[in-house]
């Protein structure tokens, strides 16, 4: 076994053991959370971010966020977003940011009126700082990560390494779920999202992380499996994570992961030669076969309930009235709020407050409609920046085969899970990297 294979196996086994250890000793989760951040800060400071260490540390924190949440390891609920912002700002201190990242300075400024309005409109019974920070931390994290990543030069292999940093803690989460989940025949009795198969935490967020993990290791099957040993390891991980994601019965995260793979395969297929196209066709046939294998096994283990879940049926086979678990009503309310206050919006967090007052309750699951409702026309401008900027960069960045899959992850995730996690903010920022095919010199100060 060559040295690189041994190192990779050590990383995988180490994180498998970590997931089991956290299950056995629950306080270890908080130790892990602190050690991850402190060790990351030390790593960045020691290397002065010469090799974009901030991105590797931030990726690892993003991958660990759901594991920490479902094991009670978070010091603060938004611990991952705050620590990602800190390590990215630390990296910016050492290696600077692009002077051309003006769109994301504008994006951050566009968020200000909604925050100011919230301080005037939120009721006296609301914890102002906590409520505003909960709702604005996601967009703030996205803006800061984007300023750091904007046209920062990296190689394709470095992107794979960053994704692996995000994937390793998801391997630990997978292990935790394997041990935590009871007998499926006893725990799955309906087609609703299942907390018992999601580590006792929100299935929506767990499935989002698992969908990302599935993509990470499936992409390694395609591009980073030189030799049968690595191929088998990556395939086993991709299949296991996919299965764990499916049985959460939360559809958004798994559909997002699949759409990322479709975008990656399509992007790659049209860039390779005839020989490469032939290999891609073989992979696609294999991928479809693996998909049916995992789906068939999931269906047999859940007594066919997984089939009904994705067909939008209840346990009796009756089609449900709502395809999106009632979230379309929340989105419709937010569009109404926007139409009533089209200029400045209703203010950050005001939508949830209004729904609570009317007895409807429910936090928004859709960041697009939330931005419109709470930020008005400023939200529209913010969305235009977020969508158009990476697409414009792609015209001069065709080497970045992950750009479109990253955008797919961001767009799909914020449509079903808003910005509850740091993942959509960070993954979006990775789409802004400038991919080169050579070992470039890293700038020590501000870049052009």
pLDDT higher than 60, residue 439: no
Give the C-alpha separation, 167 to 58, whole Å: 12
The string of pLDDT tens digits covering residues 267-324 is 888 888 877 788 788 888 888 888 899 999 999 999 899 999 998 888 888 887 666 6
SS3 256: helix
The string of pLDDT tens digits covering residues 413-423 is 999 888 889 99
pLDDT higher than 50, residue 445: no
Q: E-assigned strands of 24-167?
A: 153-155
- pLDDT category, 360, cuts 50, 70, 90? low
* Mean predicted confidence (pLDDT) in 86-105: 94
- pLDDT category, 190, cuts 50, 70, 90? confident
Could you give the percent of the chain with pLDDT greater than 90? Answer: 61
pLDDT higher than 80, residue 167: yes
Q: What is the pLDDT of residue 441?
A: 42
Give the C-alpha separation, 50 to 370, whole Å: 38
Q: What is the pLDDT of residue 316?
A: 80
pLDDT higher than 70, residue 146: yes
pLDDT higher than 50, residue 446: no
Question: Which residues fall within 8 angstroms of residue 274, CB to CB, at 6 or more apart?
Answer: none
Q: What is the pLDDT of residue 284?
A: 83
Task: Read off the tokens for 72.
Answer: 């009670």
Q: What angle do CA 218, 224, 226 make, to 5 degrees?
A: 125
Tell me what the pLDDT averaged over the chain comes to.
89
- pLDDT category, 180, cuts 50, 70, 90? very high
* Mean predicted confidence (pLDDT) in 152-156: 94
- pLDDT category, 54, cuts 50, 70, 90? very high
Give the C-alpha separation, 391 to 411, whole Å: 13
Q: E-assigned strands of 124-230?
A: 153-155
pLDDT higher than 80, residue 409: yes
* Mean predicted confidence (pLDDT) in 34-55: 97
Question: Which residues fall within 8 angstroms of residue 285, CB to CB, at 6 or more apart?
Answer: none
- Tell me which of 321 and 214 has the higher pLDDT: 214
Could you give the percent of the chain with pLDDT greater than 70? Answer: 92
pTM as predicted? 0.93
* Mean predicted confidence (pLDDT) in 125-138: 78
- Tell me which of 134 and 109 has the higher pLDDT: 109
- pLDDT category, 242, cuts 50, 70, 90? very high
Task: Read off the tokens for 142.
Answer: 């996205």
pLDDT higher than 90, residue 26: yes
- Tell me which of 363 and 65 has the higher pLDDT: 65
Instruction: Confirm if 443 and 152 have CB atoms less than 8 A apart.
Output: no
Q: What is the pLDDT of residue 447?
A: 45
- Which candidate, 182, 180, 188, places its Cα nearest to that of 304? 188
Q: Distances in Å between the alpha carbon of 42 and those of 11, 45, 81, 158, 308?
A: 20, 5, 18, 20, 49
- Tell me which of 110 and 351 has the higher pLDDT: 110
Other beta carbons within 10 Å of 349: 26
């Amino acid at each position: 076994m060559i040295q690189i294979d041994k190192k990779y196996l050590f990383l995988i086994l180490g994180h498998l053991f970590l997931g089991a250890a956290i299950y056995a000793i629950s306080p270890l989760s908080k130790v892990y959370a602190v050690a991850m951040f402190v060790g990351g800060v030390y790593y960045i400071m020691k290397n002065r971010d010469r090799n974009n260490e901030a991105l590797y540390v931030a990726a690892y924190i993003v991958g660990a966020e759901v594991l920490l949440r479902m094991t009670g390891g978070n010091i603060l609920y938004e611990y991952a977003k705050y620590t990602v912002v800190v390590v990215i700002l630390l990296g910016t201190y050492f290696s600077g940011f692009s002077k051309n990242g003006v769109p994301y300075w504008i994006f951050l400024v566009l968020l200000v009126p909604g925050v100011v309005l919230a301080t005037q409109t939120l009721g006296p019974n609301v914890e102002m700082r906590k409520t505003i920070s909960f709702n604005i931390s996601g967009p703030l994290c996205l803006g800061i990560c984007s300023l750091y990543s904007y046209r920062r030069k990296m190689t394709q292999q470095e992107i794979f390494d960053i994704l692996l940093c995000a994937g390793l803690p998801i391997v630990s989460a997978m292990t935790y779920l394997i041990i935590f989940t009871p007998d499926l025949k006893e725990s799955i009795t309906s087609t609703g999202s299942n907390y018992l198969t999601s580590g006792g935490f929100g299935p929506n967020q767990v499935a989002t992380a698992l969908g990302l993990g599935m993509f990470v290791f499936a992409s390694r099957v395609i591009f980073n499996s030189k030799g049968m040993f690595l191929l088998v390891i990556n395939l086993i991980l991709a299949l296991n994570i996919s299965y764990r994601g499916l049985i959460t019965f939360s559809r958004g995260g798994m559909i997002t992961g699949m759409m990322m793979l479709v975008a990656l395969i399509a992007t790659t297929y049209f860039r390779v030669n005839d020989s490469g196209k032939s290999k891609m066709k073989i992979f696609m046939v294999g991928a479809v076969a693996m998909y049916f294998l995992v789906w068939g096994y999931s269906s047999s283990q859940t007594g066919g309930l997984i089939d009904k879940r994705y067909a939008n049926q209840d346990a009796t086979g009756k089609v449900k009235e709502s395809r999106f678990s009632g979230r379309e009503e929340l989105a419709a309310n937010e569009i109404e709020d926007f139409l009533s206050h089209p200029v400045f919006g209703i203010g950050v967090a005001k939508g949830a407050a209004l729904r609570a007052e009317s007895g409807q309750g429910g936090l928004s699951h859709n960041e697009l409609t939330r931005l419109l409702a709470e930020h008005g026309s400023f939200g529209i401008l913010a969305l235009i920046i977020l969508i158009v900027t990476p697409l414009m960069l792609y015209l001069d960045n065709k080497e970045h085969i992950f750009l479109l899959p990253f955008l797919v992850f961001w767009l799909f995730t914020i449509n079903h899970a808003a910005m509850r996690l740091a993942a959509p903010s960070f993954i979006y920022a990775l789409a802004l990297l400038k991919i080169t095919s050579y070992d470039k010199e890293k700038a020590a100060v501000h870049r052009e």
